[in-house]
Chain A
Amino acid sequence: EADIYQTPRYLVIGTGKKITLECSQTMGHDKMYWYQQDPGMELHLIHYSYGVNSTEKGDLSSESTVSRIRTEHFPLTLESARPSHTSQYLCASSEFVAGGLNTGELFFGEGSRLTVL
């Protein structure tokens, strides 16, 4: 069982609201990631971090932002939610293994399902 937690699991909000999706892991992993997944579709990387004070954009353009002030915490923020942001957001982490972004086993949280009305 992976020790990575996401809150909230489900969120329904109105257009224009600011939201923050929380992600915390207790495994001491340096690398953390945010993925977006629509029903029946593949996961797309929207943000990642190699460690504290490191954040990078992924291969899918996103209007969200992230921060990494503590190793264990990697929140994702949407300043002004829109219906197009409706999706499932998955947080993941992996330990640092030399060889680049994709080495190391990924551990995923349970996901946050966001619906914007």
Chain B
Amino acid sequence: KNQVEQSPQSLIILEGKNCTLQCNYTVSPFSNLRWYKQDTGRGPVSLTIMTFSENTKSNGRYTATLDADTKQSSLHITASQLSDSASYICVVSFSGNTPLVFGKGTRLSVIA
């Protein structure tokens, strides 16, 4: 069973609106949590990386939050643009040499 669950699976919003994507994880011991943006047919691009001691990090219109106690993270997108249409992937890292655990992603479509 995947230890990183993302919701919703897909989302359609109007251009200019805000949205929030969710990520729940069961990975332990936790090292860091990453959010990636993946355009269709392209490789993922890093948006944020947060360690367990950080509870918020911003990158332009993207703001990620982390609650290490409840093992939940969210990615908030402000004033969405058509170019935000992509899959957003939550990735959790164990400590040490265990491979990263990827979520299946949330497919976001921004329409005019």
Task: Check if A and B associate.
Answer: yes
Q: How many residues on the B side are at the interface (Cβ–Cβ under 8 A)? A: 26
Task: State which residues 60-109 of A face B: CB under 8 Å.
Answer: 90, 92, 99-103, 105-109
Interface segment among B13-21, B37-45, B65-73, B77-85: the answer is B37-45
Main SS at interface, chain A: loop
CA distance A43 to B92 in the complex (A): 12
Q: Are A113 and B41 in contact (CB under 8 A)?
A: yes
**Could you list 26 A-B pairs, sorted by A, with CB under 8 Å?**
A40-B104, A40-B107, A41-B104, A42-B2, A42-B4, A42-B102, A42-B104, A42-B105, A59-B99, A90-B43, A99-B31, A99-B95, A100-B95, A101-B96, A101-B98, A102-B31, A102-B96, A102-B97, A102-B98, A103-B31, A105-B49, A106-B34, A107-B46, A108-B44, A110-B41, A111-B43
